[in-house]
Structure 1
Amino acid sequence: MVIMPRAPTAPPVPGRHALVPGPPVPGTPSPGAGPEHCELYSPGALFSWPELQAMAADGVLTQLYQRGYLPPGSHASPQLRARAASLVVAPAIRQRVVAGRMTAAWIYGCATEPDRLALLVDANRRISSLRSVRGCTFHEVRLGPFDVVSMGGLMVSSPLRTAVDVAMHVDAERGVPALRALLARPELGVRLRLLRLAVEASPRVPHKRAALAKLAALAAEPAAPD
């Protein structure tokens, strides 16, 4: 099966061998990514999920996450990963939850694909009605005005808040590599000194000492970021 590229001004022609992209993904593509890299394909009126899975098995598409697929060789940007994650979250609750912890680290390209989405719920909202949602884990937290960003149709914890949560709540085996990757991306604006201050300023919580130990281990590494 072959997908022919669309001419910029030509409308898509429905048919067995054409794909209709989902809603456009907000945000600017990463440098070097052309317009074709901004399309995420998901189940819809033209193709069902089993059909998209079959096309992925044939190499026509590449699965990004769950029900989200990209053309082979496409650049998986944070916006596209957020969009793919949003497909797992029911529209009715999408504005009530925030992708966080290792899910947010994955969205930023700093962790492996999560088995289940980690979703944060502000303590001012009720979490009991969300417990039955499948494929997700929910964490009741306090969220500040600068803790959340919006991308790809989903709210995501900011890079700094993500790093703090990973340090606090994720075991060292998974958390330290994710923290190292977050610190290694200048565009995310996470600095080790700032991260340490944020953890130290957090209220007394059971995992605070373990979080500082993770940061100390990172600081001791050769060429550690400031």
Structure 2
Amino acid sequence: MKKQLFLIVLLCSAVAFESEAQYRYHYGRPRVRTRVRVSPAPKRPVQRIPQAAFQPTLNISLGYGFPNLDKMQLVDFYNAQKGNGTQTGPFTGAIDYQFSRNMSIGVMGTYGKVSAPYYDYANNSNIPDFTGKLENWSAMLNVMTYFPTYNRKVEPYLRTAIGVNSWQQDYTDTEGNKVYNGEKPTQLAYQASLGARFNITKGAGLYVEGGYGKYILNGGLTFKF
């Protein structure tokens, strides 16, 4: 009985071995998938357009400011009140040498006049008791700082100017007599402005700016040579 059982097990093992051999012969080894690495495309270098070489220029500007802040230099009297004043200017002019894209240096000058009537506190008429007049010339060192921009048609800038005033003052009554001959106004002249230059052509354009010093607003013509 044991011999028969042994022969049966041996026969089954032989059949299983033969079947496995036929399976491998007909179908071969199972396929194994492999990952293929794809190299990224090389990046193209960014082409930068070179800027044209800077050419120094001589810049001239002519303009008119408003209001004329020299009116603040009119004297305040304790026994008289100041009426509404009149003003002329200031007329402005500047000449600057622009030695780089971002900066220029030069001189700036202004001229203007202001006047105002004064009324005694006991005066009930419209006729002033006396009139105060100031005439001013100023000369200042002018530094322009230009902000970087990709549009050469518009050039924003910062103006910083400082220098001296030259005054002529006159306080006279209706008969031409002087009523005050005291100290002259401040000798310090200055202007700080933020503005922009608009280049209409290669050599000419307009400018407008706002700031404080001799004026609050200013605009006019500008030229390049």
Q: TM-score, normalised by structure 1?
A: 0.19
- The structure showing larger relative contact order (alpha-carbon pairs under 8 Å, at least 6 residues apart) is 2
Which structure is higher in helix share? Answer: 1
Which structure is higher in strand share? Answer: 2
